[in-house]
Structure 1
Amino acid sequence: MTTVAVPQVPARLGRFVLRMFRPHIYVTYGLLWVLALEGSASAATGTAWRPSGATWVRVVSVVLVLLFLRMLDEQKDLAHDRVHHPDRPLVTGAITAAELRGAMAVIAVVVTVLNAARSASAALLILASLAYGLFLAVLERLSPAVRDRQLLNLAITYPVQVLLGGYVYGSLVAAGTVTADWRGAALLALCAGVFLHFEFARKTSWEAPPGARMYSVDLGPRRSALVTAGFAAGAVGFQVLLFAPQGPLRLLPCLAAVLPAWGTRRFLAAGRGGWPVPVAMGFVVITYLALAVGAVLPL
């Protein structure tokens, strides 16, 4: 058992975060996701929107929950990482499970306090995301099928993203910013399409190294590519459903569809290598950024 002096813990956690939770990726994603979802929830009803103090509470809460889930994943994947990723921090001892669990407890307290100060509903919604993540850890330990079958694992684990999106939308409803209706479900479906396009893109390849957890292993490269493209198309379709009645300028974020279209063509034409992941990441960034900006501008 590794013994770590308490004063060393913050620095060790900091190094873990910088390596396994790269801020320029995860923080940017959390920020843009919340701004796009919150702004679109208002814009879809024709209501003017500006970020507020509550917006930044939601941003901080979502980013912290993503960090909580990343720390949880590090522990869930320990046996797999010992074989296939021996340089991971938990495997090498650069961080310990006890340190990660302590940090997770702190995160749980911080997000609960932040949201309870605004409403009990918001606090319960954010806690539901944390609770589901912990449930998944137990389920994966008990069920080899859930742990090892990539598509089944996605079906079981993706709802934590839905819960996080539901927290953002639900806290808006609780605050009286928007009224709950079908557009909330459509917005969550839009975000699902954006996220799942990237999720499939990063795990779609013509080749698969030993031990790789790839959707293209289960579906085959071509079908995995079509599913990847299909999620992007679905995201664009929900944008049309939500914003077309407000005029063509509201559909400018749909132009980001050029990226997955190009990515699909490039992947299928190459016949080797992986999906161009930076292009898929660009689709996420441009779509969410355009939705957030469009919600602010009087189009």
Structure 2
Amino acid sequence: MTPSPPTPARTGGALAVTTVTARRVPARLGRFVLRRFRPPLYATYALLWVLALEGSAVAATGTAWRPTGATWVRVTGVVLALLFLRMLDEQKDLAHDRVHHPDRPLVTGAITAAELRGAMTAIAVVATALSAALSAAAALLFLAVLGYGLLLAALERLSSAVRDRQLLGLAVTYPVQALLGAYVYGSLVDAGTVTADWRGAVLLVLSACVFLHVEFARKTAWEAPPGARLYSADLGPRRSAAVTAGLAAGAVGCEVLLCAPDGPPGLLPCLAAALPAWGTLRFLAARRGGWPMATATGFVVATYLALALLAVWRP
């Protein structure tokens, strides 16, 4: 028997439901961003990172540096890239979250994977267009960041080792951050603002050490709760603490290479080393709990803020 076509009332009802649902999507996305992305945290990190990286790169050439319109495009690009990757991680970690974090938005249905993918598409289009305003190379570098993130998600689906082994997973995932740094620095080089040299490599290593310091800090603890993905579970608390402290020391070493020629004022960013030193002592003395995260996040803020201020002052 041939089924009868839907009645106008049913069709209208379906359209009404679809329209209402579509209107709710921005609100659902907004709640997701507030809960899982925490804009003040991520936006502050992106702002300070770009200002420190760009300012230090320009000031090292002896040129006066002040933020420009291109600076804010780079900041926006980094924020949107981080949001894209956060949305991607939420989908990638769904199976784990169903067991260990059942209150997360994607698990509870507060947001759907389709809605996240739609937002990711919009982010990719908008941010690539903004980057293209800087240069074609900047747009390609930005697409490389997103492309690597998507490739990584596919790799984690295929490889249980990448999913389950924390140190291997870090080795595979960190290049996303490195590509973001290359996006900022590469767009400066392509614009002719700076010339690529050894100082650019030192700046990127400095950025890596700062990021990895806080990454190790948040996953270093004396005990591993069920479902926790900690580096200290693989390395042991003391060795994980040593790596965390060593990364901060590496960042300070890079600052000395870059800023020592400016004399004592140039070493101002190195004072931030007091925070990870205090964090290390507190963690080792406590013998319980996790790394004191206030010292790790404070190190990021103090280091990047001091570098940005020094870039304004140096010339």
What TM-score, normalized to structure 2? 0.93
Long gaps (5+) in structure 1: none
Match in the other structure for 2:192: 176
User: How far did residue 248 of structure 1 move?
Assistant: 1.7
The residue type equivalent to 2:133 in the other structure is A
From 226, 229, 244, the counterpart of 2:245 = 229
User: How far did residue 4 of structure 1 move?
Assistant: 7.5
From 84, 90, 94, the counterpart of 2:100 = 84
The residue type equivalent to 1:42 in the other structure is V
Q: Is the alpha carbon distance of 1:57 and 1:174 closer, same or farther for their aligned partners in structure 2, counting shifts above 3 Å? A: same
Match in the other structure for 1:265: 281
Long gaps (5+) in structure 2: 1-17
Cα distance in structure 1, aligned partners of 2:273 and 2:168: 28
User: How far did residue 46 of structure 1 move?
Assistant: 2.2
Deviations 1:202-224 (A, max 9, x none): 00000110110000000000000
Match in the other structure for 2:122: 106
Match in the other structure for 2:226: 210
Whether 2:21 is the aligned partner of 1:21: answer no
User: How far did residue 44 of structure 1 move?
Assistant: 2.0
User: How far did residue 117 of structure 1 move?
Assistant: 1.8
Q: SS where residue 256 of structure 1 aligns?
A: helix
The residue type equivalent to 2:53 in the other structure is L
Deviations 1:153-185 (A, max 9, x none): 000000000000000000000111000011111
Whether 2:310 is the aligned partner of 1:297: answer no
Cα distance in structure 1, aligned partners of 2:130 and 2:41: 23
Cα distance in structure 1, aligned partners of 2:206 and 2:61: 16
Q: Is the alpha carbon distance of 1:4 and 1:205 closer, same or farther for their aligned partners in structure 2, counting shifts above 3 Å? A: farther
Match in the other structure for 2:89: 73
Quick check: 2:262–2:314 contact (8 Å CA) kept in 1? no
From 131, 137, 161, the counterpart of 1:145 = 161
Q: Is the alpha carbon distance of 1:268 and 1:3 closer, same or farther for their aligned partners in structure 2, counting shifts above 3 Å? A: farther
- Number of residue pairs aligned between Structure 1 and Structure 2: 298
User: How far did residue 118 of structure 1 move?
Assistant: 2.1
Cα distance in structure 2, aligned partners of 1:137 and 1:4: 32
Cα distance in structure 1, aligned partners of 2:62 and 2:133: 28
User: How far did residue 30 of structure 1 move?
Assistant: 0.6
Match in the other structure for 2:135: 119
Question: If you compute each CA radius of gyration, which structure gives the higher value, 1 or 2?
Answer: 2
Quick check: 2:142–2:183 contact (8 Å CA) kept in 1? yes
Superposition CA RMSD, Å? 1.2
Match in the other structure for 2:256: 240
The residue type equivalent to 2:241 in the other structure is A
User: How far did residue 115 of structure 1 move?
Assistant: 1.2
User: How far did residue 297 of structure 1 move?
Assistant: 1.8
